Amino acid sequence: MRLLLVEDNLELAESLRRALTAASFAVDVVHDGLAADQALHRDDYALLVLDLSLPKLSGWDVLQRLRKRGSSLPVLILTAHGSVEDRVKGLNLGADDYLAKPFELTELEARLRALLRRANGAPSADICCASLCYDSNQRRFTLADQPVSLPPREHAVLEVLLLKQGKTVSKEALLEQICNFDDSVSIEAIEIYIHRLRKKLEGADVQIVTLRGLGYLLEQRHDV
């Protein structure tokens, strides 16, 4: 899933980018509030990780503008401003979670996974469609209790489809959720990933359906 990281400390931003990419997120990084506001206008994200003390436009302003546009994007504030007053202000402005620096990376990742589950209506870490299950804590798929090993792109596509099971996801939405600023992936690549995933799901009680002109749908099969 694609997230936007807004952090003006270049060293910390790069460290977080590497860690979150290793955790299977597609990560875009910007270093000031104005660039963040523009990215949020332009692109579709699953999560926002937002510092508060930013040049050009503060994190408070970025958050206020986002919510005034009616966006329900899950936002985690990650900041050195850890007072109770700052936490209350951030949550009242529309943040979904608040983590003060210094922090443990494992806690940040766990909080992001929890926000992602909540945003997609998944109450627990284990998300299933028929016998296809995904442990969102370990970021592992199983099919009929057997592990399914997938390359990063296929993993990302299947994660999006499973989180949004029962809903149609367009090729464009899939592409946006698995790629960051620096990726050069064509829309045709989505068809290739879907084809490969279907091969791996052959004979199972779950399938990826194509709705022509609309996109793809993950659903349970009833003919097996």
**Residues 115 and 140 both lie in one domain:** no
pLDDT for the residue 157: 92
pLDDT for the residue 166: 84
Domain boundary among 79, 94, 119: 119
Q: Check which CATH number belongs to the domain holding 135 and give it.
A: 1.10.10.10
pLDDT for the residue 158: 93
pLDDT for the residue 123: 63
Q: Which residues of the chain have pLDDT under 50?
A: none
Q: Report the distance separating Cα 59 and Cα 156, nearest Å.
A: 29
Q: Report the distance separating Cα 95 and Cα 44, nearest Å.
A: 18
Check: CB of residue 133 under 8 Å from CB of residue 148.
no
Q: Across the chain, where does the E strand assignment appear?
A: 2-6, 26-30, 47-50, 75-79, 97-100, 126-129, 132-135, 140-143, 146-148, 206-211, 215-220
Q: Count of domains in the chain?
A: 2
Helices (H), 30-94: 33-42, 59-68, 84-92
Check: CB of residue 31 under 8 Å from CB of residue 7.
yes
Q: Report the distance separating Cα 1 and Cα 163, nearest Å.
A: 10
Domain containing residue 92:
2-119
Give me the amino acid identity at 76. Answer: L
pLDDT for the residue 108: 94
User: What Rg value do the Cα atoms of the chain yield, rounded?
Assistant: 18
pLDDT for the residue 224: 63
**Residues 92 and 141 both lie in one domain:** no
Strand partners, 220: 206
pLDDT for the residue 181: 64
